[in-house]
Amino acid sequence: MSCHRPDRSEAAAAALETSEPQARSRPVVALAGNPNVGKSTLFNALTGGNQQVGNWPGKTVTRKSGLFRSPADGWSCDIVDLPGTYSLDPVSPEEEVARDALVGGNLDAVIAVADSTHLERTLYLVLQLRELQHTPAHRPFALVVALTMLDLAKQQGVHLDVQELARRLQLPVVPVDWTARSLSRLMQVVRDQLKLMARMAPRSITRSEAGRATTRDGDEAKPGNAGREEDPLVVAGRRYAEIERILAAVVRRRDGRTFTDRLDEYLLHPWFGYLFLGMVLAGFFWLTFAASSPLVDLLDRAIGRFGTVAGELLTELGTPAAAIEFVRDGVIGGVGAVLAFFPLMAIFFFLFAFLQDSGYLARAAFLLDRWMQRLGFHGRVFFVLLSGYGCNVPGVLAARILDNADDRRAAILLEPLIPCAARLGVMAFMVAAFFPPATATAVLLGLLVLDGVLVAVAAYFLRRRVLSGRQTPFLLELPDYHWPSLRTLLLGTWHEVRHFLQKAGGIILVATAGFWLASHLPWGVPIDETLAGWLGRGLALFLGWLGLDWRMSAGLLSGAIAKETALSTLAVALASQAGPGAAGLGDAGLPALLAAAYTPAQALSFLTIFMLYFPCLATARVMQQELGDRRWFAGGVAGSLALSLVVAGAVHAVASRLW
């Protein structure tokens, strides 16, 4: 797709931090446009792999910037991929970011990306940008229109007169067909505009063009500010009237039902649509978990092998046994705990991006809104919560698709209540140890249903009572279906996974190694005499009324770091007390040990707490980051902790009667 070979300069992102445009070495060019018009595809094509992904300052909105370097003469500029927006009057954090960047006056050029199959709507932002360009008070910037989706327009029998469009818009318009030639042509036009702008004094630009462009009243000032006084229907009406005039001369279309129309007959069908949605969701989870588990196993074995080899090497070097064990089980084990996220996250984000880019995610949200609006949520929230069933981390990150700040906060706070795959594994194992198979299935299902009800109740409570801020108008674009480009999907997936590993990897590693030390020091004593043993004993003082002993408490402590370790910690604690003979016994003997040590009521009480009490460290880390505010995080954790204790108390009371 791209022919240039940009060198890896880390300065690209730094350049954007400079607020003074004059102080920058390279011009900054932003990509602006409606959602789904091809901005990110263009961004990837222009910047290649040379991208920085981070957050906009103070916002949980992803910021992507990259370096473009001309293959011909090495001219370079920084490119920013702005979030999609319909207008310069924002209704969501994403749109706010786009507006602030565009109105802020820090850009040298803007490439307005317009979808040629939806020109009527996508030109609206172009007109707003043109008004902004001609606002006398605003710092001048170059504006170039890039037309995408030309292949689709052709398929739909739409004929476009690009030259006429440029003439009527009084803006340069470049068709982009994703060949290297059209991309370099686009950037050449941007360069020409920048040069032109530099030659003209800022004043003269505004004088000569402003009158013609802003229709009639010159006092239209800044869109997004002064527009507020005027009726939005009138302002928008004026812009659409101009668009209609322009398009009448530019577009000749053959009307007919498009591919999207025909597909939606089925995919949004009153019952087949829901059936298909069910299949998509099932397939989504099956692929995320079933397909990632062999990869996780493989990684697990590789790490285990690596640990063994490293241990042998250290032995030969004469390292003390305690240190070897620490390196092998604590440190290398911690690396394994971090890497275990990799396959799952990669597959999850790939599929998620596929659903989003293909246009289906919007339909799913529309279909699901049927139930979510009753809870006071947007339909997309359902998808976000569901994403947490695999692993809460992607669930929390998926909340970024929510426009409404309150929806987003509530969804993130609900996420730890959703039992992830690691928790489900522990729960299934424990339940099977205490009940015969048929009962075990029913008990596990019962726990999950209980959890589902709690999530719904908590959701209702949160959104109606705590985060009861205004609802964003529900207006969900159902974009045309697209076959997503593999390159965009892979790049996006890679950024998400890398971002997660950077943010959470270190803390997981340190905590895993730290807990290993806590459960082994002082060296040589049985686990109940170690630091972790004492901590467990302390915690058991508070949890005794729920039937939990110190071993279960120690399990909960390690589960707060990584859920799946709760069981192994419990197993070690049980085995050390069962005497030396039981020490080496693996999973095979564990159910018997468990059943001998606890009553079913105790087990259920433990599992209820375990299901609800605390997000694992990785989840906690991303929750903190995505919420942006410590108070929300602290409140959410306190809430789920309290909930887990109350519910476990009830479960313990009921279960003690039954069994």
Partner 1 sequence: MIGRPIPPAREGGLQERRLSDLLPGEQARVVGIGGGMNLRRRLADVGFIPGVQVEVVRVLAGGRLIEVAVRGTRFGLRWQEARQVRVE
Phi first, then psi: what are they for 91, rounded to 5°? Answer: -120, -5
Please tell me whether residue 63 adopts helix, strand or coil conformation: strand
Q: Is 254 in the site for partner 1 (CB under 8 A)?
A: no
Q: Report the distance separating Cα 186 and Cα 181, nearest Å.
A: 9
**Least Cβ distance, residue 269 to partner 1 (angstroms):** 9
Interacting partner of 357 out of Mg ion, ligand GDP, partner 1, none (Cβ under 5 to 8 A depending on kind): ligand GDP
Q: Which is nearer to ligand GDP, 38 or 376 (CB)?
A: 38
Q: Which is nearer to ligand GDP, 415 or 480 (CB)?
A: 480
**Least Cβ distance, residue 306 to partner 1 (angstroms):** 50
**Least Cβ distance, residue 459 to Mg ion (angstroms):** 28
Cα 7-11-14 angle, rounded to 5 deg = 150
Q: Report the distance separating Cα 195 and Cα 263, nearest Å.
A: 47
At 541, list the tokens. 């003082």
Q: Is 585 in the site for partner 1 (CB under 8 A)?
A: no
* Of the candidate residues 84, 390, 395, 536, the single one contacting ligand GDP (CB under 6 A): 84
Interacting partner of 484 out of Mg ion, ligand GDP, partner 1, none (Cβ under 5 to 8 A depending on kind): ligand GDP
* Of the candidate residues 47, 76, 117, 288, the single one contacting partner 1 (CB under 8 A): 117
* Of the candidate residues 97, 149, 327, 511, the single one contacting ligand GDP (CB under 6 A): 149
**Least Cβ distance, residue 32 to ligand GDP (angstroms):** 10
* Of the candidate residues 40, 60, 87, 602, the single one contacting ligand GDP (CB under 6 A): 40
Dihedral sign from CA coordinates of 138, 144, 150, 153 = positive
Peptide bond connecting 522 to the previous residue in cis, omega within 30 degrees of 0: yes
Q: Report the distance separating Cα 32 and Cα 110, nearest Å.
A: 7
Q: Is 57 in the site for partner 1 (CB under 8 A)?
A: no
Q: Which is nearer to Mg ion, 353 or 509 (CB)?
A: 353
Query: Which of the ranges 38-46, 127-135, 277-285, 549-557 carries the binding residues for ligand GDP, by CB under 6 A?
Result: 38-46
Q: Is 510 in the site for partner 1 (CB under 8 A)?
A: no
**Contact (CB, 8 A) for 418 and 455:** yes
Interaction mask 385-424, ligand GDP, x per CB under 6 A:
----------------------------------------
Task: Give the chain's largest Cα–Cα span.
Answer: 92
- Long-range contacts at 562-568 (CB < 8 A, ≥ 24 apart): 562/337, 562/422, 562/508, 562/512, 562/616, 562/617, 562/618, 563/420, 563/422, 563/423, 563/426, 563/610, 563/616, 564/422, 564/425, 564/426, 565/337, 565/512, 565/515, 566/426, 566/610, 567/426, 567/429, 567/430
**Distances in whole angstroms, Cα of residue 457 to Cα of each of 384, 453, 463, 472, 511:** 17, 6, 10, 22, 33
Q: Is 62 in the site for Mg ion (CB under 5 A)?
A: no
Looking at this protein, which amino acid is placed at residue 139? R
Residue with smallest beta-carbon separation from Mg ion: 40
Please tell me whether residue 66 adopts helix, strand or coil conformation: strand
Q: Which is nearer to partner 1, 476 or 521 (CB)?
A: 476
* Of the candidate residues 15, 82, 235, 497, the single one contacting partner 1 (CB under 8 A): 235
* Of the candidate residues 33, 227, 390, 505, the single one contacting ligand GDP (CB under 6 A): 33
- By CB under 6 A, the residues from 328 to 357 that bind ligand GDP are 357
Interaction mask 468-507, ligand GDP, x per CB under 6 A:
--------------x-xx--x-------------------
Looking at this protein, which amino acid is placed at residue 383? F
**Least Cβ distance, residue 84 to ligand GDP (angstroms):** 5
* Of the candidate residues 39, 63, 423, 621, the single one contacting ligand GDP (CB under 6 A): 39
* Of the candidate residues 259, 266, 272, 474, the single one contacting partner 1 (CB under 8 A): 474
Interacting partner of 482 out of ligand GDP, partner 1, Mg ion, none (Cβ under 5 to 8 A depending on kind): ligand GDP
Q: Is 240 in the site for partner 1 (CB under 8 A)?
A: yes
Q: Is 175 in the site for ligand GDP (CB under 6 A)?
A: no
Looking at this protein, which amino acid is placed at residue 488? T
Q: Is 362 in the site for partner 1 (CB under 8 A)?
A: yes
Q: Which residues pair with 3 in a beta bridge?
A: none
Query: Which of the ranges 33-41, 90-98, 277-285, 287-295 carries the binding residues for ligand GDP, by CB under 6 A?
Result: 33-41
Q: Report the distance separating Cα 607 and Cα 280, nearest Å.
A: 30
* Of the candidate residues 209, 477, 528, 549, the single one contacting partner 1 (CB under 8 A): 477
* Of the candidate residues 24, 28, 41, 376, the single one contacting ligand GDP (CB under 6 A): 41
Query: Which of the ranges 46-54, 366-374, 562-570, 587-595 carries the binding residues for partner 1, by CB under 8 A?
Result: 366-374
Q: Which is nearer to partner 1, 229 or 316 (CB)?
A: 229
Closest CA to 566 of 578, 581, 544, 548: 548
Query: Which of the ranges 14-22, 34-42, 216-224, 420-428 carries the binding residues for ligand GDP, by CB under 6 A?
Result: 34-42
Interaction mask 12-41, Mg ion, x per CB under 5 A:
----------------------------x-
Give 562's contacts (C-beta < 8 A, 6+ positions apart): 337, 422, 508, 512, 616, 617, 618
Plot region of 547 (φ>0 → left; ψ -120 to 50 → alpha; else → beta):
left
At 356, list the tokens. 């989003």
Interaction mask 357-376, ligand GDP, x per CB under 6 A:
x-------------------
Plot region of 58 (φ>0 → left; ψ -120 to 50 → alpha; else → beta):
left
Give 337's contacts (C-beta < 8 A, 6+ positions apart): 508, 509, 512, 562, 565
**Contact (CB, 8 A) for 79 and 459:** no
Phi first, then psi: what are they for 258, rounded to 5°? Answer: -85, 170
For the chain, first and last CA: distance in Å?
Answer: 65
**Least Cβ distance, residue 475 to ligand GDP (angstroms):** 17
**Distances in whole angstroms, Cα of residue 654 to Cα of each of 127, 609, 647:** 65, 15, 11
**Contact (CB, 8 A) for 37 and 176:** no
Phi first, then psi: what are they for 604, rounded to 5°? Answer: -65, -40
Neighbours of 157 (CB within 10 A): 12
Q: Is 514 in the site for ligand GDP (CB under 6 A)?
A: no
* Of the candidate residues 15, 29, 37, 637, the single one contacting ligand GDP (CB under 6 A): 37
Interaction mask 256-285, partner 1, x per CB under 8 A:
----x---x---x-x--x------------
Residues that bind Mg ion (CB under 5 A): 40
Contacts with partner 1, residue ranges (CB under 8 A): 86-87, 89, 91, 117-118, 120-121, 124, 231-233, 235-237, 240, 260, 264, 268, 270, 273, 362, 365-367, 369-370, 373, 470-478
Q: Which residues bind ligand GDP (CB under 6 A)?
A: 33, 35-41, 84, 148-149, 151-152, 357, 482, 484-485, 488
